[in-house]
């Protein structure tokens, strides 16, 4: 692992790091904020998954999470959203696919199946690296994200309820199998058989019996992607039928940007801290 940069912030350290990924077969970059409490004991960790077109840097520079994370004693890990590099298959004119748009799936279709393995990267490889390198308590993990990253957080939590104690999302894509801006990506990554898509669709996972104890979702009412791409009411309906507790906040006048995310970031971190610190 290579240290790209480190800077003191709110008594802790905000770092950016790079390593060669065995899952994605390329160099990957990620950010980690370590709070001051980590000097004395391992701290719970929250994974933040970013959305389409983003890298690790978007939330690091605009998310305004460090002050609250330092107060609560949370390590915050911000991975990249896809493999990157000249040799990585991509559609450079398509912001909804390829570079910056890995959708947190393990692709099964060539030529994407070699590199686009973001599910395995987030679930297995990166936690192992972070656990060996940073003062984290991997028995206390939470996950959240925005848009495509919200989709990733919901699906990963539903498939790994024993791994994560908390899950939340900002404006998640809750039913990517039927959303106009994600269906083409799923077809290219996962093939024509839509049954295979259900493993990466939050609504479908709930319908198929996957469970998680409770979710927090914030959604802006002025979000330009609300009607076509996000549709949080579908997830609410699925959770109600399954008996899953969901707090869905429709935030009047907020859009899809980091102005929205940063406004409610501290509420999400407090949500995670309450669940991650239970019994400690």
Q: Annotated active-site positions, please?
A: 147, 223, 256
Selection from 29, 90, 80 nearest residue 58 by Cα: 80
Selection from 102, 34, 23, 105 nearest residue 73 by Cα: 34
- CA 148 to CA 156: how far, in whole Å? 12
- CA 164 to CA 171: how far, in whole Å? 20
Q: Is residue 111 left, alpha or beta, with left meaning phi > 0 and alpha meaning psi from -120 to 50?
A: alpha
Q: Is the peptide bond before 277 cis (omega within 30 degrees of 0)?
A: no
Selection from 172, 123, 163, 156 nearest residue 276 by Cα: 163
| Cα four-point dihedral sign 155, 156, 157, 162 | positive
Do the beta carbons of residue 204 and residue 179 sit within 8 Å? no
């Amino acid at each position: 692992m290579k240290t790209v940069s480190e800077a003191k912030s709110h008594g802790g350290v905000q770092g950016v790091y790079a390593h060669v990924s065995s899952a994605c077969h390329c160099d990957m970059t990620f950010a980690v904020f370590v709070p001051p409490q980590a000097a004395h004991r391992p701290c719970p960790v929250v994974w933040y998954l970013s959305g389409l077109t983003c890298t690790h840097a978007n939330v690091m520079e605009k998310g305004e999470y460090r002050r609250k994370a330092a107060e609560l004693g949370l390590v915050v890990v911000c991975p990249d959203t896809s493999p990157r590099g000249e040799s990585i298959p991509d559609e450079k004119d398509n912001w909804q696919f390829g570079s910056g748009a890995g959708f947190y799936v393990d692709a099964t279709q060539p030529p994407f199946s070699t590199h686009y393995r973001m599910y395995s990267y987030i679930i297995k490889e990166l936690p192992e690296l972070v656990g060996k390198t940073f003062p984290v308590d991997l028995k206390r993990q939470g996950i959240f994200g925005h848009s495509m990253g919200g989709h990733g957080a919901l699906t990963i939590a539903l498939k790994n309820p024993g791994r994560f104690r908390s899950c939340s999302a900002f404006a998640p894509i809750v039913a990517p199998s039927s959303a106009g801006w994600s269906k083409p990506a799923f077809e290219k990554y996962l093939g024509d058989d839509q049954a295979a898509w259900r493993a990466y669709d939050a609504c479908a996972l709930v319908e198929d019996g996957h469970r998680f104890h409770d979710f927090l979702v914030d959604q802006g009412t002025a979000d330009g992607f609300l009607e076509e791409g996000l549709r949080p009411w579908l997830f609410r309906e699925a959770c109600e039928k399954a008996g899953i507790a969901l707090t869905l906040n429709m935030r009047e006048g907020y859009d899809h940007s980091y102005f929205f995310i940063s406004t409610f970031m501290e509420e999400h971190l407090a949500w995670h801290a309450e669940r991650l610190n239970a019994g400690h």
